[in-house]
Structures are given as C-alpha cells and as structure tokens.
Amino acid sequence: MNTVNSTLVDDLLVELDRTGATPLHRQIEAALRDGIRAGRLRHGASLPSSRRLATELGVSRGVVVEAYDQLVAEGYLTSTPGSYTRVAAVGGQAAAVPPPPQTAGPHIDFGYGRIDPASFPRAAWLRSLRRVLTDAPHSRLNYLDGYGLPELRTALADYLDRVRGTSTDSSQVLITSGYGQAAALIIGVLAGRGARRVAVEDPSTDDVRLLAHLHGLDVVPLPVTGEGIDPAALERADADLVVLTPSHQWPLGGVLPARARREVVRWARARGAVVVEDDYDAEFRYDRAPIGAMQGLAPDVVVYAGSLSKILAPGLRLGWLVVPAHLADAVAEAKLLADRGSPAIEQLAFADFLVRGELDRHLRRMRPVYRRRRDVLLARLAESLPGFEPTGVAAGLHVVVWLPDGMREDDVVAAVAGHGVRVAGVGPYRLAGPGRQGLILGYGGLSEGRITEGVAALAAAVRALRQRR
C-alpha cells in the first residue's frame, strides 16, 4: 500500500513575487520542480490539494491547477482522479529522458524567429492531446486526404476570420507542415500551371528564392522601402506571382499600407497573377492595433499562409494555407504526394486547443512577455549603442538595427561572435547587392538578463572595432 506522506505547504518553499514578470503558475512550477530535483520533495509524497495550496498562497485555484498540470505533463508529478497529486519517481519522466547532447554554440544567440520554448503551454496542449486520444473516432487514425482534418480546417477558418480578418471558407483551408512546406506546395503548383517569374521582397528570407530555383522560376526583387514594396515596381516585374509579408515585412518590419495593398490586388486581378501572403508573426503587435490580413480584401487572388512556428512552437511543424477555390484541389494533391498528410493526432489536438480558446490565452500571456523583452533590448541599445538605429520595432520577435555610417555589418557580426554572441546581418537576405548596413536581433528566445548581457557584448565588440580603426 502506498503511504500518504503528506507534504506541508511550508515544506514546498513556494515564494511568490507578485511584482515580477513571471506568471504565478510558473513560479509555483519552478519552486516545486526545484524541490523535486533537489530531493526535498521525495518520491511518493503527496502535495496539498490545489484548493488548499491556493488558499495558503493567496492565488486562485486555477493557478495551482495549471502548475500541477504542467508538472504532471513533465513527469515530475502523478495525478489520479479522486486521489492526491504525488511526486513521481525521482525526477519522473524528466529524469528518465537523457539530456540532449550539449553542442558548442554561441553563448547568446540573437537568431531571428526564435520563440521562448519554455513558455510552451504544455499542460493545455497535453489536455488537448488527452481529449482527442480519448474521443477521436477510429477513422481519424486512417490515411488522410491532402486537405487535412475537417475539425482543424473549420476551427482555423473561424479563428482566422475572427483574429486576422480573413474571409475563409473551410473548404479552402489546407493543413501543411509549416510555412516552409506551404510555400513549396504553392510554388510547385503554380510552376506546374505555367508560372515563370516570382517577385519577392528585397530583403526577404531565402526560402522562396531556393524554391523558385528548384522549379526553374526567375526571381524578381522588389525593393522594400520604409513600409514595404512599391506596387509600381510590381507592375514592371512581369511576374506571375508575388510573395509578400504585408503585416510585418520580414526582416525590416514595415506594414504594407492600405493603398499599396489595393494596388497589389488590382495588379493580380488584371494579370491573372497570385499574391502569396506570408502572415508569419502577425499576432505579436505591441504598439498599435493588429493589421488585418490582405486575404480579407481579395480571397480570389490571395493565397494566405500561416504557421504555428512563431505563435506556439516551430517543433510542432503545423501550418496552413487558405487558397482561392481554383487552386484547392491541386494544392491538396501536391500535399498528398509530399507526405500523405500532416499527423492526425496533432491536427486534432490543435483543433481542440483552438476551439477551447487556448491559443488566444497563450497569445495574451506571451504578448507582454515579448514586449518587455523588446523594451529591454531597445533600452539597452539606446544606452550603450546610441548611434544604432532600430527599425520595425512595433511587432514580431526581432528588430533590425541600422549601423552608423561607415560601419560594416560583416565586421560587427564577426567581432561580436568573438564574444560568444550570434547576430545576423541584413546583407545575406538582400537580392540586388549591398544596401544599408544593419543587424537582425531576435529577442523572442532570450530572457531580459540575456538580452542585457548580449547588448553589453555587442557594445564591447563595437568599441574594440572602433579602436582597431
């Protein structure tokens, strides 16, 4: 028989900082996790009921339930309905899984597009996984069609119309393995239908360029000015499709103005061309109201692409396309050929997560976290590198900083690497040769302390560079 080794609330050593940035449930989780790892909370010890701990700590019961659920998900605690929550075998699942091999990497990585993986809502995701594994009909475990599961397509259509201002019929939603696959599918289909030239923003990520080369398409760069591309350049491009990041230009951060959006749509309709809208991190806007997606203006010519990579976690490899009706079957066929469909359990779990409002909750929780990281980055840059000029700061998970005249981004990237800090220059993402010198600083995956350390290292590297000159 299992003895109940009841743990006193005081033994848990949970001290809450109500003024800090860390949510209360995370603080409780951390205190319990530390206690288990240190052996203070022994295997089999039962924890106080969530109600009792909540009363003792002066928090709502939901906060304690969230913390317990998270630790159950991580394998530190076990929970049986109607019984105590207990400490699992030492370290539980967390200790059973060998730690990943340590690879030598930069000490602080300002890589763009990084999220904070420690904030992944494991408990809520696990609840969704449990529910769908319990409830899904057997048929959902069979081979899929190329569109994806109807539960997710419907949930996404509702979400996108509500949050991104799209005009979505679920019959035109396709589930993909992230934006990377979405872009490959749509470019492959359009190339198969005779497209010869793709226009892209300059600078932009290299995904589309590489895909274009693969399919024998010419790439036409469209210079990005303050807010985005100039539609007049698109008129001259003689292109069959254009790939844009209108809500938050990658990497410079501008928002394509309404007039330019209308002109792009007019261009596409007049030419029978397609606009691919990569809406990759639109949910993270800090200083102004979110901008609706272009797709809502023109669902007949815009292919809308979204992804969980920035708003939840890239490791989930889930993304989606909303395509004009005439492209839907062809894209679904291409998806089937590529991988016979994305994993069903994950699709169902994500559908459940969406309809229960968990994505909304997660985004509400993360926006202030990322905003504070951005604010710390901007404040430290202003203090120690006043000649650096940040841009594109209103949204997303990175900022670009323009360098003072005469300073070369390659020199700064190399110098700061010597201090164990990785940053990227804008140059590798330019198509038409060198331009204004700048750095891309991703802050999403770095704590405020690491950001401060990283900027100090950047400032030291810049001082050393100046002295060398």
Ligand X SMILES: Cc1ncc(COP(=O)(O)O)c(C=O)c1O
Is position 113 an interface residue for ligand X (rule: CB under 6 A)? yes
Nearer to ligand X (CB atom), residue 123 or residue 182? 182
Among 179, 304, 350, 402, binds ligand X (CB under 6 A): 179
Q: How far is the CB of 180 from ligand X (least distance, A)?
A: 3
Q: Does 76 bind ligand X (CB under 6 A)?
A: no
Question: Taking CB under 6 A as the rule, does residue 392 contact ligand X?
Answer: no
* CB closer to ligand X, 68 vs 179: 179
**Residue nearer to ligand X on the CB measure, 29 or 279:** 279
Euclidean distance between CA atoms 424 and 111, whole angstroms:
7
444 binds ligand X (CB under 6 A): no
Smallest gap from Cβ 154 to ligand X, in A, equals 21
Is 442 among the residues that bind ligand X (CB under 6 A)?
no
Choosing from 35, 91, 146, 178, the residue that interacts with ligand X (CB under 6 A) is 178
Nearer to ligand X, 113 or 299 (CB): 113
Nearer to ligand X, 204 or 452 (CB): 204
**Gap between the Cα atoms of 344 and 143, Å rounded:** 9
When asked if residue 309 is in the footprint of ligand X (CB under 6 A), the reply is: yes
Site string for ligand X, 119-138 (x = CB under 6 A): --------------------
Q: By rule CB under 6 A, what count of residues binds ligand X?
A: 13
Could you say which of 245, 247, 347, 437 contacts ligand X (CB under 6 A)? 245
Query: For 179, phi and psi rounded to 5 degrees?
Result: -70, -35
| Closer Cβ to ligand X, 35 or 180, answer by number | 180
Kindly state whether residue 314 participates in binding ligand X, applying the rule CB under 6 A.
yes
Nearer to ligand X, 54 or 200 (CB): 200
279 binds ligand X (CB under 6 A): no
Q: Is 319 in the site for ligand X (CB under 6 A)?
A: yes
Rounded Cα distance between 315 and 123, Å, is 17
Span 77-96, contacts to ligand X by CB under 6 A: none
**Candidates 160-168, 306-314, 341-349, 385-393 — which segment interacts with ligand X by CB under 6 A?**
306-314
Cβ closest to ligand X, residue 319 vs residue 438: 319
Q: Would you say 85 or 295 has its CB closer to ligand X?
A: 295
Q: Which range, of 19-27, 173-181, 265-273, 445-453, touches ligand X by CB under 6 A?
A: 173-181
Q: With contact defined as beta carbons under 8 Å apart, do 78 and 88 qualify?
A: yes
Site string for ligand X, 203-242 (x = CB under 6 A): --x-------------------------------------
Pick one of 250, 267, 429, 443: the residue that binds ligand X (CB under 6 A).
Answer: 250
Nearest Cα neighbor of 279 from 140, 379, 178 is 178
Binding of residue 307 to ligand X (CB under 6 A): yes
Q: Are strands 274-278 and 302-307 parallel, antiparallel or unpaired?
A: parallel
Q: Residues interacting with ligand X, by CB under 6 A?
A: 113, 178-180, 205, 245, 250, 278, 280, 307, 309, 314, 319
